[in-house]
Amino acid sequence: MSVRIAVPREVTPLERRVALVPEVVQRLAKAGHSVTVEAGAGLSAGYPDPAYAAAGARMEDDRKALFASAEILLKVQPPTEEEAGFLPPGSVLVCQLNASRNLPIVARLRDGKVTSFALELLPRITRAQGMDVLSSQATVAGYRAMLIGAELTPKFLPMLTTAAGTIRPAKVLILGAGVAGLMAIATAHRMGAVVEGYDVRRAAGEQVRSLGAKFLELAINAEGTGGYARELTAEEKQKEAEMVSKAVAEADVIVTTAAIPGRKAPVLVRKEMVERMRPGSVLVDLAAETGGNCELTRPGETVVVNGVTIAGPLNLPSQLPYHASFMFSKNLQAFLELLVTKEGQRVAGYTDEILAASLVTRDGTVAHKGTADLLSAGGGP
């Protein structure tokens, strides 16, 4: 028994990743599954068609035929409405659906009787670590954000002793020390900068210090449920602003990564703080997509305010598509192990905790409560 798996080319503007890389295709083919890949799907990530063919994939030029043939369709981005319409009833879609922001697509999948799983809804439990796309892609984003900071600063990052004089190391400040922030810290440290990190979760302190950086400690521990941060009270926000303001004024490069699940990103760097920054300093706002950690961030743009460069890059994982796709693909491989039995059949029920939490549509209904509530509240068709 085998399952027919299909991987299309991503059509979202600026998306360079692909859902499966040849190495994972080969594993699935060896396990007896048939894998069809759209021609050119991996090209912009550095995986050419011959590599897929050599791994055992069948290449398909016709997008509609590819979608129509899928028992399980694997994607990075949510499908377009047209793509959702190509999927046959009873097929399974696995991707980053961003369900709450894509209600019309969810409705289309529901009406088309497609079973869909949203990878951003995976519970962040130990057993799900291998399939956690939020973590793998945040690792890429943190690394890229630091490289953008290094490229935009007019300074060296490391200390240098040269015949032309001694250069002091740059000061890098990372606000938010979750998965992306820790990767940015590690990257800045490897580049020779003096690094400071800040997070509202006290547990992050040990991780920041273990990477060779100083932890900015506030007398607050805002650890909420599931290891995530909670929103600060007004009084706590004031204390935070005082401490952050001083560190911001002294930094050469700032990377901000602070997020609270399901909410707009907290604003940590206000306009007045930017005004106190030195000309030439740089802020890279990794939270640009969810509103920004800096008040002056313009999503998708790089602006200069009083000589301070503020970058608000979008879809950073797509800027390192080879390894972002590799990690995403490994995550999908782990997810498929839950979805397909060892005998090569799709599992009948989705009772497994991980599948149940990420299931969005099934048999013409919306199974995910939060999304169903949004739809019935008039947020979609």
Ligand X SMILES: NC(=O)c1ccc[n+]([C@@H]2O[C@H](COP(=O)([O-])OP(=O)(O)OC[C@H]3O[C@@H](n4cnc5c(N)ncnc54)[C@H](O)[C@@H]3O)[C@@H](O)[C@H]2O)c1
Q: Could you give the strand order of the β-sheet that contains 4-7, starting from the edge strand earlier in sequence?
A: 58-60, 34-38, 4-7, 72-74, 92-95, 115-118, 359-362, 365-366
Q: Does 225 bind ligand X (CB under 6 A)?
A: no
**Catalytic pick among 4, 58, 63, 124:** 124
238 annotated active-site: no
For residue 344, which amino acid is it?
G
DSSP 126: G
Q: Does 135 bind ligand X (CB under 6 A)?
A: yes
Q: Does 229 bind ligand X (CB under 6 A)?
A: yes
Piece in contact with ligand X (CB under 6 A), picked from 26-34, 126-134, 143-151, 269-277: 126-134
**Catalytic pick among 58, 202, 228, 298:** 228
Q: Which backbone phi and psi does 359 adopt, to 5 degrees?
A: -70, 125
* Helix, coil or strand: residue 37: strand
228 annotated active-site: yes
Q: Does 218 bind ligand X (CB under 6 A)?
A: no
Piece in contact with ligand X (CB under 6 A), picked from 40-48, 68-76, 169-177, 208-216: 169-177
For residue 52 the two structure tokens come to 């897929």
- 221 HSE (CA, 13 A, CB side): 7
Q: Which of 57, 175, 211, 374 forms a contact with ligand X (CB under 6 A)?
A: 175
Q: Does 215 bind ligand X (CB under 6 A)?
A: no
Q: Which residue is nearest to ligand X (CB)?
A: 178
Piece in contact with ligand X (CB under 6 A), picked from 93-101, 159-167, 221-229, 269-277: 221-229
Contact criterion met (CB below 8 Å) for 341 and 69: no
Choice between 156 and 228, CB closer to ligand X:
228
Cross-strand pairs, 35: 5
Q: Which of 204, 247, 310, 336 forms a contact with ligand X (CB under 6 A)?
A: 204
**Catalytic pick among 127, 129, 209, 276:** 129
Q: Which backbone phi and psi does 20 adopt, to 5 degrees?
A: -125, 140
132 annotated active-site: yes
Helix, strand, coil distribution of the chain in percent, nearest 5: 40, 20, 40
Q: Which of 10, 60, 132, 285 forms a contact with ligand X (CB under 6 A)?
A: 132
Contact criterion met (CB below 8 Å) for 258 and 176: yes
Neighbours of 25 (CB within 10 A): 27
Piece in contact with ligand X (CB under 6 A), picked from 39-47, 93-101, 194-202, 269-277: 194-202
Closest approach of ligand X to the CB of residue 356, in Å: 17
Q: Are strands 302-305 and 308-311 parallel, antiparallel or unpaired?
A: antiparallel
Closest approach of ligand X to the CB of residue 48, in Å: 32
Cross-strand pairs, 144: none
28: closest CA among 337, 269, 265, 296? 337
Name which of residues 248 to 287 contact ligand X (CB under 6 A): 257-261, 266, 268
For residue 363 the two structure tokens come to 């048999």
Compute the distance between CA of residue 186 and CA of residue 208 in angstroms, rounded to an integer.
Answer: 9
Given the rule CB under 6 A, which residues bind ligand X?
124-126, 128-129, 132, 134-135, 138, 175-181, 198-201, 204, 227-229, 232, 257-261, 266, 268
Q: Which residues are catalytic?
A: 124, 129, 132, 135, 228
